[in-house]
Amino acid sequence: MHIDYDNYDGHRHVVRIVENSPLHSWFKDSLDGENMEILVNSYHHQGVKRLAQRFVPMAFAADGLMEGFYDPDAYNPEEGKFIMGLQFHPERMRQHDLDEFDYPGCPAAYQEFAKAVIAYQKKLNSSLSVPKTLKLDSEMENKRKMLVRSFSLAKYMYVRGAPGKNPSKESELEVGAEFLESNTALSAEQEMRLKEMGATVRNGGSYMKKLKVDEDKQRMARNMMKKMNIEQLSELMAFYHLMGNICGEVLDRKLQGNVNECLRDL
């Protein structure tokens, strides 16, 4: 009989423990010589019919039903490994109305399990720790610095809308663009996005050239105006003010014409 519904904790039946198993190490002090038997409680109405190859039996009932098994390759509490199964509950094997266990080895299952949990948590925490900085050789370090410089320039231009740090060479932005566009170990969508990013970085070079042209034009205009007298500068300012007003009027008419045309189409 393997179960007594009216007396779960009180009923006991005999199991034979397999030598050199975890169960044997837990209860060895309670075993009498060649007698490898202990009395256990009964909680489960189902049993193992066929054990997977990875598992090894730890105990049998008198009728041959397997009462315990474990995986030798996945049982090492010190390393955070604990895979086993029991058909009884040793943590509930206590004498009636007393806190004393039937055997000194009864609490071992939970103690070893707790040990495995703690060890596994430590191992998990260590795997999540920040790895040490990879040490690069001089060639790779130079390439890394060039990429960082390229992306830094592109980011500065994007955020500030101005070059700020003028690159010593036009190719500095090309480095980042080529790196982004050459990365093909990704999905098609990711690759397309990287190419777009590369194009954005590359366009930064054109933007800087345009800014340089504008700066040259402004410098030439300032040099020319420095040679003009007050009357000439006043006439020039009045002329551009007049042109601005005329341009505004023409622009308003064109915009109003477009609006009227859209209304007619509706």
Range in 52-66, 116-130, 171-185 the model is least confident about: 171-185
Domain end (from 127, 159, 179) = 127
Residues 56 and 84 in one domain: yes
Residues 142 and 121 in one domain: no
Number of domains observed in the structure of the chain: 2
**In terms of pLDDT, which residue wins out, 59 or 196?**
59
**19-27: average pLDDT:** 94
Residue 33 resides in a domain: yes
Residues 39 and 105 in one domain: yes
Residues 56 and 118 in one domain: yes
Among the listed residues 70, 62, 63, 7, the one whose alpha carbon sits nearest the alpha carbon of residue 39: 62
Range in 87-91, 132-136, 190-194, 222-226 the model is least confident about: 190-194
**218-244: average pLDDT:** 82
Pairing of strands 66-76, 13-17: unpaired
Using pLDDT thresholds of 50, 70 and 90, give the confidence band for residue 25: very high
Would the pLDDT of 90 be above 70?
A: yes
Domain end (from 96, 127, 158) = 127
Would the pTM count as exceeding 0.85? Answer: no
Alpha-carbon gap, residue 46 to 248, rounded angstroms: 91
Cβ(36)–Cβ(23) below 8 Å: no
Q: What is the pLDDT of residue 116?
A: 93
Domain of 75, in residue numbers: 13-127
Rounded (to 5) percent helix, strand, coil in the chain:
55, 15, 30
Residue 263 resides in a domain: no
Residues 110 and 193 in one domain: no
pLDDT tens digits, one per residue of 141-187: 777 777 677 666 666 665 565 554 454 445 555 555 555 545 544 55
Would the pLDDT of 108 be above 50?
A: yes
Using pLDDT thresholds of 50, 70 and 90, give the confidence band for residue 27: very high
Instruction: Quickly list DSSP for 65-126.
Output: -EEEEEEEEEEEGGGTEEEEEESS-GGG-B-TT-S-BSSTTTTHHHHHHHHHHHHHHHHHHH
Domain end (from 59, 94, 127) = 127
Q: Which residue has the tokens 């058909």?
A: 87
Residues 182 and 104 in one domain: no
Q: What is the pLDDT of residue 175?
A: 55
Among the listed residues 145, 155, 151, 149, the one whose alpha carbon sits nearest the alpha carbon of residue 168: 149
